[in-house]
Amino acid sequence: MIFSQYLFISSNKIEFILIYSKIVCKDSCYIMSKNELEKLRENINEVDDHILDLLAKRASIVSKIGKHKNSNKTVVDLVREEEILNRLLKKTIGNYSKDTIIRIWRELFQASSNLQMFNFSEIKTKRTIESINIYKGGQTSIKGKSNIIKLSSNENTNSPNNSILKEIKEIKFQNKLNRYPEISGLSLRKEIGNFHGIDPERIVLGCGSDEILLFAALSFCKDGDEIIHAEHGFEMYPVIAKVVGAVSKLIKEDENYKVTVKSILNQITEGTKLIFIANPNNPTGTYLNRVEIIELMNALPKNITVLLDGAYAEYVIENDFDKGFDLVEKFENLILTRTFSKVYGLAGLRIGWSYSSEKIAKILNKVKGPFNTNFFAQEIAIKVLNDQNHINNVVKLNHEIKNWFEKELNNLNLKTRVTFGNFSLIESNIKEANNIFNHLLDDGIIVRKLDSYNLPNCLRITIGTMKEMETTLESLKKYHG
């Protein structure tokens, strides 16, 4: 009606209206009358009432099933839930996307398990939180022993250079304690940008790189979405997935504990939003090379974000390993993370960072709290970053000691896996892994048991100083009699 009035005004206006109507109405060129709209709304109301009836019916069946379940045991049957989802996804019709269907049904599963838990008076979290195994990290002390060698957390046993330690003592902080630090660490971001030749505006700092992993999950995942990570990947990945309400989909590694592009792609569903890949991985020590990363990124739907976690990247000297940041220019959905906790020896200060496309950096910055990294961490990170001679020495020393140590382990008939990073992986059987772990503990040496990584037959040993590794080896020799 409105259009017909305008049509009489002038030919210019007609042209304008035609263009306008094309834009506004797209192909249909049809404006709905108020009555028609009301009618459709009534239709929606009817459908919603019907959905409510169906939900009541579903709830009553769920409650009946619940009465037959053992209330002492968990009422959640994840296998059955996946079966239901797979069946529904095959039948899905209509315009709602498959990932919407997945999320709606995961919400229904959650509601159903709440129904079956009988107790309505308790504080309840989302279901994924209940199943989190709190991250314990490597053991830090041994009862009754004060002189210990700690090789359990992949820290750098070398502190920063002595000259840096001296400079740190001279940092004037007394009059800064009552002030907030730089809100997003611009000075450090500029230094990182300068050193790596990258744009400081696209660097996001985190309280450890762990925090960036969380930012990514918070940014891209809703309840019921899926995060893909390796079966034996870094322990925080499943924890972070659960924190944001997502479901972990596990990549099966090959016989060398390596994830392949194919094995990653196999886990993709309509619900996938994020992929965590530690490169190299902790604790398996394997990595995807540059060609494989490009292959993966080209094969992935662009709505899925990949976070390549480079916590140990500086330790890798292999030619096919990509230490650069240029892939971010080619792939908008790629995030690269780095940390000051490992090769830079600042684990205690909790500082890490990410580099990504401008679009993703902006998203992460929306999730990041202000002042998430502190004044000391920012100041000291700048100092260690500018001491690359020391970093190069740390990397060189790590290789020398690691190569020597692993040869000696093999001489003791202990099997080691090929790992890239600052740690060795001993593979044995569960009994021997436990025995070796306890024997080393008796001698004041803490290494990492890998039960929580579903590798109870393995031990991870961080490469410490030469002296620490010699002592560890002597203890292992004693074990072997």
Ligand X SMILES: Cc1ncc(COP(=O)(O)O)c(C=O)c1O
The binding site for ligand X (CB under 6 A) comprises 154, 208-210, 234, 278, 282, 309, 311, 339, 341, 347, 352
The nearer residue to ligand X, 85 or 343, going by C-beta atoms, is: 343
Q: In terms of CB distance, is 113 or 209 closer to ligand X?
A: 209
Structure tokens at 118: 């009988």
Shorter beta-carbon distance to ligand X: residue 101 or 391: 391
Residue bearing tokens 């049904």? 105
User: Smallest gap, in angstroms, from Cβ of residue 472 to ligand X?
Assistant: 20
Q: Two tokens at 211?
A: 């925090």
Long-range contacts made by residues 106-113, C-beta under 8 angstroms, separation at least 24?
106/81, 106/223, 106/224, 106/247, 107/223, 107/224, 108/58, 109/76, 109/81, 109/84, 110/223, 111/59, 112/58, 112/59, 112/62, 113/75, 113/76
Question: What's the distance, CA 77 to chain centroid?
Answer: 25
Listing from the earlier edge strand, what are the strands of the sheet with 448-449? 415-417, 423-427, 458-462, 448-449
Number of residue whose CB is nearest ligand X: 208
Asked whether 457 and 435 are in contact (CB, 8 A), the reply is: no
Shortest approach of ligand X to residue 348 CB, angstroms?
10
Q: Among residues 103 and 460, whose Cβ is nearest to ligand X?
A: 460
H or E segment to which residue 191 belongs: helix 186-196
User: Exposed, middle or buried, 217 (CB in 10 Å: 0-12/13-18/19+)?
Assistant: buried
Q: Which is nearer to ligand X, 106 or 338 (CB)?
A: 338
Place of tokens 């053991």: 139
Q: State the nearest-atom distance from the C-beta of 475 to ligand X, in Å.
A: 24
Q: CB nearer to ligand X: give 154 or 219.
A: 154
Determine the Cα–Cα distance for residues 14 and 28; give it in Å rounded to an integer. Answer: 18
CB-nearer residue toward ligand X: 416 or 422: 422
Q: In the sheet that 352-356 helps form, which strands lie side by side, from edge to edge? A: 203-206, 352-356, 334-339, 305-309, 272-278, 226-230, 247-251
Nearer to ligand X, 234 or 315 (CB): 234
How near is the Cβ of 296 to ligand X at its closest, in Å? 18
Q: How many CB atoms neighbour CB 267 within 10 A? A: 19
Minimum Å gap between C-beta 212 and ligand X is: 8
181 or 352, CB closer to ligand X?
352
What is the C-alpha separation between 159 and 177, in angstroms, rounded? 24
The least CB distance from residue 29 to ligand X, in Å, is 55
Q: Which DSSP string do the residues of 237-274 spell out, in sequence order?
A: HHHHHHHTT-EEEEEPP-TTS---HHHHHTT--TTEEE
The CB-of-182 to ligand X minimum distance in angstroms stands at 19
- Tell me whether residue 154 or residue 184 sits nearer to ligand X (CB atom): 154
CB of 80 to ligand X, least distance (A): 33
Residue 451 CB, nearest distance to ligand X (Å)?
Answer: 17
- Closest contact distance (angstroms) between CB of 339 and ligand X is 3
181 preceded by cis ω (within 30°)? no
Cα–Cα distances in angstroms (integers) from residue 437 to residues 401, 453, 470, in the given order? 21, 16, 17
Query: Residue type for 363, please?
Result: I
Name the token pair of 318: 């292999």
